[in-house]
Structure 1
């Protein structure tokens, strides 16, 4: 999978002749609702001999424009790239969202997309909106714009995915459950454990284990407490651990022995369930 900056790709449209199925969204957390959209984007492209593209954002537009309260991310860009590549997405395009970008009308934004690739189809969620609020477009208006900008292109809208309690699976619901420490429910919504990307953060060994200060963490942490978890090392080995999350730090305690301090290189921490403090 190749990664592009949106405006750079607009200025240098190296994919302008490539027939593409495009999906647009924040995709924070990449939960089962997102996966339904992404899987259809990929399968639609493969069925027709086209390529797949995911357009996403470095910052949540709703949080930047303050139409939604600010929360830390559920997924880092490195995690998103890894998940999208493993799914089979061909191209990832990241929008550096800014005040100026937020002023684009839906048609202006879609015109840029249609200029840097041959849009054959778009797959979006039922709650999709793009463009400045006064001229934003949902799925119906999206089809109308594509009729003019890329004749013949179609829009597909997979239905919402719901939990066993009939709640719509969304990033907002994942955040709510994470702050409650409901990791089993989160795993059901994500289709995998919730993972923290540790690569960018310094740590230090203590008598008990590996300590991280959480002030610089980009991702949302669950409520303070003790959790069963696994630590993924740089060679992708997974080891079971106990994790204690406090107000200012995170302590990873090995369940068997202590690691070799000279060789240990951490990658991800997967949080599985609330654990015992004993």
Structure 2
């Protein structure tokens, strides 16, 4: 998949194409269904398939106080978009200048001149251009004038549930700690990416050395406080089962919220597992329990033993020997 990070990166000979547009935060199952239709339509007509997206999220520029917590960082979003079979993704750097473009300029500069669109695929609620002044009728009018078709898709959701597939539904699930439900909407586990930093080193003292992830600069929305089963993936590609804790460590009267991962079965590693300074991915699989305050260290360690055993069953399908 070609990745363009600016309109000027699109070569003069690209196209003709089938194009869609959106933020695609999380690239959830609704997004995937739309993109599958874009790819299928493009292949049936011998055209290229393209998604146009933005970075940063428009609300982060226009109304930062209303901007949602993002589900994916740009690189992860691009990897997920590539997995849909798209031929190319154009990432438009969202700036105040771009926000001031008229709907007509946006369509002519992006869809017509750069991407040579023959079909533009949108939903009924599409909005674009200055102050979101462009809508579906605007797109259809500009398409008739510029020579491209407008394919309108119905809202796509899980027919077995009342709630539609949406980034908002994923955020709500994560806020409740329901990472399994989030994965159902996403079609893949929710991921947080960050750098391993030094923490309190308390886990090592308790016999459970943890990788402490930098939450301030993390990419991906951190779920609600609690204990989870998940997978930690290193930059090398090594994938490790992990018991994950999010919270302030109330047993020790902590005040700083931390994201820590204990990688299972470290005993056989010569010199231990040193992750400090590494950029890692943490995929959330299941919620085990909420954060608790324990009467003492012994009660906490006993619960940690049970948590690790539960994680081993969930992630590896086996109980400890």
TM-score band by shorter chain is 0.7 to 0.9
Tell me the SS of whatever aligns to 1:274.
Answer: strand
The within-5 A match list for 1:1-278 is 1-9=1-9, 13-66=10-63, 69-113=66-110, 114-133=112-131, 136-149=133-146, 151-162=147-158, 164-198=160-194, 201-204=195-198, 206=201, 207=204, 208-246=209-247, 247-258=256-267, 260-261=272-273, 267-276=280-289, 278=303
Give the structure with the higher percent helix.
2
**2: distance between equivalents of 1:125 and 1:234?**
37
1:179-238, Cα deviation, whole Å (9 max, x unpaired):
11111111110011101123xx24348412211231121321111111111112334343
Unpaired runs of at least 5, structure 2: 248-255, 292-302, 304-321
**2: distance between equivalents of 1:169 and 1:156?**
18
Unpaired runs of at least 5, structure 1: none
Q: Which has the higher contact order (CA 8 A, sep 6+)?
A: 1
Greater C-alpha radius of gyration:
2
Tell me the SS of whatever aligns to 2:34.
Answer: helix
**2: distance between equivalents of 1:158 and 1:6?**
30
**1: distance between equivalents of 2:37 and 2:77?**
17
Tell me the SS of whatever aligns to 1:250.
Answer: strand
Bigger shift: 159-168 or 207-216? 159-168
Alpha-carbon RMSD across the aligned residues, in angstroms, is 2.4
Tell me the SS of whatever aligns to 1:40.
Answer: helix
**1: distance between equivalents of 2:191 and 2:124?**
27
